[in-house]
Structure 1
Amino acid sequence: MSHQEKRAWIYAVVAVVVYAGYVIALLLRMPAAGLTAAHYVTPLLVAVGASVVLNIAAVTVAAGAAPKDAQALDERDRAIGRLGEYVGFYVMSIAALVPLVLALREAPYFWIANSLYLAFVLAALASAAVKIVAYRRGM
């Protein structure tokens, strides 16, 4: 498995695990008034920060385990990376319509912020999935 494929796996796993942890934290702290009354800002910021830190740490560990592979980047890796990023961009562009519509309809901030975070997670998963499939099936 190439270093770039490992990075895609790390990106996908971290996105799913951190988002799941965020949702569980919200549900465990849900007030009687419902989710929109939940204090979501701090857990949301912690989740975003944790995603960044965990991705950097995991990629660094993976690069440290095989430093020669971490530096190798050929045309195929660049093409797969480009394809994955294009797909992630389109998923984000489409998914970002939901928070936009929510904002235009003056929905509670909770739903706007959480739908935007979900859009980021879906874009990350789509990008990583395309890269993993391209590495596994060939491109």
Structure 2
Amino acid sequence: MMSKILYITKGAAGMSLEEKRAWIRMLAGVAAYIAYVVVVLTRADGRPLTGVPYEAPLLWSIVAAIVASIVIEIVVNTVRRGSLVTDERDRAIGRLGDQVGYAFVVIGAVAAMLMAMADWHRFWIANVIYLCFALSMLLGSIAKIAAYRGSLPQW
């Protein structure tokens, strides 16, 4: 009951600082990944994807997602002036989201290892790693948001 009261009283519109962060990171990460895919596909222009210069757009999209998340968090927290307090529920939800996300990091690492062992082109290896990082962030954020909107699973 106490965690429900804390949840309702925290942050702007009942949203805790950590829930805002999950939304911001999810939206910035998805936007950056989509932009990366669009740039690579546009640059392909009929040639094989393995011939597309993907390295700079990949790095720039990661940097852009990180910078955008930081800037948006600063702006939102400055404008909304919500509570900066986190409680045990926030930490439990953070752990849950991280555990969901870590699964996709492991999947990406195993997939990249198998692809390297099979001597796949580095384009595919880099892109499967980036895809799994993006899925990790997306699904981890979705798990956090779902836990904030519903209730934490009890183990």
Q: Residue deviations 1:32-78, cap 9 Å, x none?
A: 43100000011111111111101111111122123342x21011111
Contact 2:17 2:82 in 1 (8 A): no
Q: Distance in 2 between matches of 1:101 and 1:31?
A: 29
Give distance in 1, aligned partners of 2:104 and 2:46: 34
Identity %: 40
| Unmatched 5+ stretches in structure 2 | 1-14
Distance of 1:76 and 1:28 partners within structure 2: 44
SS at match of 1:29: helix
Alignment TM-score, normalising by the size of structure 1: 0.93
Query: Do 1:36 and 1:108's aligned partners in 2 also have CA atoms closer than 8 Å?
Result: yes
User: How many residues in Structure 1 have an aligned counterpart in Structure 2?
Assistant: 138
Per-residue deviation, 1:119: 0.8
Q: Aligned partners of 1:99, 1:67: CA distance in 2, in Å? A: 43
| Residue of structure 1 in register with 2:49 after alignment | 35
Bigger-Rg structure (1/2): 2
Q: Note the 1:1-139 alignment, pairs <5 A.
A: 1-69=15-83, 71-139=84-152
Q: Segments of 4+ in structure 1 off by > 4 A?
A: none
Tell me, in whole angstroms, the C-alpha distance in 2 between the residues paired with 1:85 and 1:64. 26
Contact 2:21–2:73, Cα closer than 8 Å, also in 1: yes
Q: Normalization by structure 2: what TM-score?
A: 0.84
CA contact 1:31–1:38 (8 Å) conserved in 2: no
1:26 shift after superposition: 0.6
Q: What is the root-mean-square deviation in Å for CA atoms of aligned residues? A: 1.2
Aligned to 2:8: none
Q: Which residue does 2:10 correspond to in 1? A: none
